[in-house]
């Protein structure tokens, strides 16, 4: 069955915002996001339109697409499957304020040993730097809860005789934008957490030191 192609692209379109409204897309960008050529992405868009999973319309030289109710049902089913697999998984909210970093985050993120695992296990290319968030006191016991929850393990490694320890990662959102929380297993701090993402979060949300942010961690 080639249904899986259709699912993959449908999911990507949903993530690009085509769920409830017509969204302008570029077949080359879509192709890049799902790992195929512009030509293939274009072809699949046509196939999916014929199958009634999306609506497509020309928009000047571009196209706009919108997921149909049938397409939505396809996605819903997959979502249901994952709910069956993982149960009703926990979500933990944290609030805190942005803190000046020490530039260390950038140093670590750039290490090939971590970078590679971030791409492999968190599925994004990290912006080279971390956002440090000081969690407000009344949320700090939740940090402990997170540490004890299910995590994604980024293995430690050695480089030029220097050891880099194992790091725990968690899928998360910062102000609703997809990101990840990373916690070195050796770290002591319980009130400061580090966030990585595929963009510079400081710029995306115009964050200054002291800005309040909302984190949601998905265990």
Partner DNA sequence: ATTACTAACGTTCGAGTAT
Partner DNA sequence: TATACTCGAACGTTAGTAA
Which of DNA, its own copies, none has residue 152 at its interface (CB below 5 to 8 Å by kind)? its own copies
Which of its own copies, DNA, none has residue 131 at its interface (CB below 5 to 8 Å by kind)? none
Rg of the chain over all Cα atoms, to the nearest angstrom: 20
214 binds its own copies (CB under 8 A): no
CB of 79 to its own copies, least distance (A): 4
Our CA dihedral for 180, 185, 186, 192, rounded to 10 degrees, sits at 30
27 binds DNA (CB under 7 A): yes
Q: How many other CB atoms are found less than 10 A from the CB of residue 26?
A: 12
Among 23, 38, 68, 175, binds DNA (CB under 7 A): 38
Among 21, 61, 162, 163, binds DNA (CB under 7 A): 61
85 binds its own copies (CB under 8 A): yes
Site residues for its own copies, 121-160, by CB under 8 A, read: 121-123, 152-153
5 binds its own copies (CB under 8 A): yes
């Amino acid at each position: 069955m080639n249904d899986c192609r259709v699912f993959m692209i449908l999911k990507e379109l949903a993530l690009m915002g085509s769920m409830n409204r017509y969204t302008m897309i570029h077949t080359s960008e879509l192709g890049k996001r799902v790992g195929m050529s512009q030509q293939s992405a274009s072809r699949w868009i046509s196939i999916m339109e014929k199958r009634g999973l999306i609506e497509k319309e020309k928009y000047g030289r571009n196209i706009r697409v919108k997921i149909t109710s049938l397409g939505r049902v396809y996605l819903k089913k997959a979502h249901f499957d994952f709910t069956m697999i993982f149960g009703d998984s926990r979500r933990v909210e944290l609030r805190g304020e942005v803190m000046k970093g020490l530039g260390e985050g950038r140093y670590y993120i750039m290490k090939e040993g971590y970078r590679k695992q971030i791409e492999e296990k968190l599925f994004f290319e990290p912006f080279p730097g971390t956002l440090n968030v000081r969690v407000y006191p009344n949320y700090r016991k939740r940090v402990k809860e997170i540490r004890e929850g299910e995590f994604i393990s980024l293995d430690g490694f050695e480089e030029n005789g220097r050891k880099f320890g194992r790091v725990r990662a968690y899928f998360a959102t910062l102000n609703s934008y997809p990101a990840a929380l990373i916690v070195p297993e050796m770290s002591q701090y319980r009130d400061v957490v580090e966030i990585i993402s595929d963009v510079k979060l400081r710029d995306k949300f115009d964050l200054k030191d002291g800005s309040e942010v909302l984190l949601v961690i998905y265990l």
